[in-house]
A and B are shown apart, each in its own frame.
Chain A
């Protein structure tokens, strides 16, 4: 076993990859959508022309020796230059694609296989057609998503289903896992609801409490073991509210900002943000190199942000108090607790806020 230094520390390392929001447009209407331009007072960015976007991405990929770009949106397939973007970038850098799958017919998939997309991420919000469609705000979404998954697996692609744990769909997890196994998908991303954008307006209806989430995570552990299905919890789970210590089949982590695993996000206008949940603009990649933005005061301040209530906790530096981007989007500051932590920190399983893990007994 090797013991490593604790990240993050300046100068922040190059990230392995970036998230690229190709377009703000989407033809689904998910109530839990966190797209930042759905926050009050945040205008939808004017997208760059395709040629300008590709020029920018070429430069950044070379500068940072990136190995991965994750294409998202909005719905990325609605970008008018989507195929041009993929054709241009795929030979240079690995590509992941986050899509609702509604535009992935056989013809479209044929243009993107066998080796254009490394990982496909599609939503599976329920094991029942009606609920998935309702949560997606689009009739037919379930059939289209499952059809796309089946077609992608028939084309021997790597497919990951994304389940966003919301109050209305917590009981769906087992059926979703069974669907994953039946469809042959390669893994499940199990994300707690992380409010922002449209989701910020539905917190009361969509946000599950820690007890319900803990029950679901326990169930996920058993299902992952039973079906040998990789399950990753990608949204930070505050250890003062949720206990994953014996969940050996689930992977989970904390905010990766400032580390090589950070997923800095390029918006449709070519501006860099700390991540795809954060509305903070770190700078314009059209006019500034990535290194200048990684070394900038804005990012350093953002990395340092964490709720005052977490001061002194043994995990303060690693946990960083949940998701600061959600706090920024919903409460107005990354220094505040995010809506999940803020709503339930008084229930902390380890005691009052600020009590350290090691001193909690």
Chain B
């Protein structure tokens, strides 16, 4: 991490500038000592030390929660650096250099994969997430399905097949018995669920009407390849 080290040194006024015509200036000792003893600066250094260790580590140096926390910490370090500059403990140019180092650390940390994605290779592509929010899925899928049915991107038989599955979800959401039997702490108020179900039902009926319209269905359903042609 050469550039990071340079920036850290520069921020303490300990790095000479090699540019021609540039006269190194010794920083006021008091400012350096104040910075070194400042809790915010110490916190910045701690965050960066951790990020630098992660950046130089192996393929899966953290889990997803750890990755999120480290990104959040790095963002916090930006704010802390700005605060140090505002308090006169860093010059603006020093703070600018340090912000560049944060950019670099964010990039390096972002190139690492969390342990949950250890199996996310070509043939085990992603973590399995079997539990989905039925309501969210319906609200996302139905407008798309309607669009793809209207512009005939999808074959009508495919739309019918998808609708059958959507219907299963929708019937659950329309069932007061099912809702009562499956309390969801993330949905304390069921009225929005009922309203959403009504909108979804209306969308399903529009799609079904379109499929039933004369000429909506091509003469042949998509058939599998009839014979082997290697």
Chain A residues in the interface with B (C-beta under 8 A): 1-7, 16-17, 19, 25-27, 68, 70, 78, 96, 98, 102-105, 108, 119, 121, 127-129, 138, 140, 143-144, 146-147, 150-151, 153-154, 158, 160, 175, 178-179, 181-184, 186-187, 189, 227-228, 230, 232, 234-235, 239, 243-248, 251-254, 256, 259, 261, 263, 315, 318, 357-359, 361
Contact = CB atoms under 8 A, between A and B. Distances in A.
Contact of A230 (B109, B127, B228): B127
Contacts of A127: 153
Interface in B49-91: 50, 53-55, 57-63, 66, 70-71
A212 B119 CA distance: 28
Nearest to B116: A251
Contacts of A158: 128
A3 B58 contact: yes
* Interface of A, helix, strand, loop or mixed by DSSP: loop
Contacts of B55: 358
> Which of B54, B124, B136 has most chain A Cβ within 10 Å?
B124
Given A78-B228, A239-B111, A361-B104, A160 B125 contact: yes
Given A154-B161, A182-B145, A261 B225 contact: no
Which bracket fits the contact residues of B?
35 or more
Contacts of B120: 232, 251, 253
B122 A25 contact: no
Contacts of A104: 224
B153 A175 contact: yes
Nearest to B123: A70
Interface of B: 1-4, 50, 53-55, 57-63, 66, 70-71, 100, 104, 106-111, 113, 117-129, 136-137, 140-141, 144-145, 147-148, 153-155, 157-158, 161-162, 164-165, 221-225, 228-230
Contacts of A16: 119, 124
A147 B225 CA distance: 12
B153 A2 contact: no
Contact of B162 (A105, A183, A244): A183
B124 A147 contact: no
Contacts of B113: 251-253
Contacts of B164: 154
Given A4-B57, A27-B225, A68-B124, A247 B110 contact: yes
A357 to B, nearest CB: 7
Contacts of A128: 153
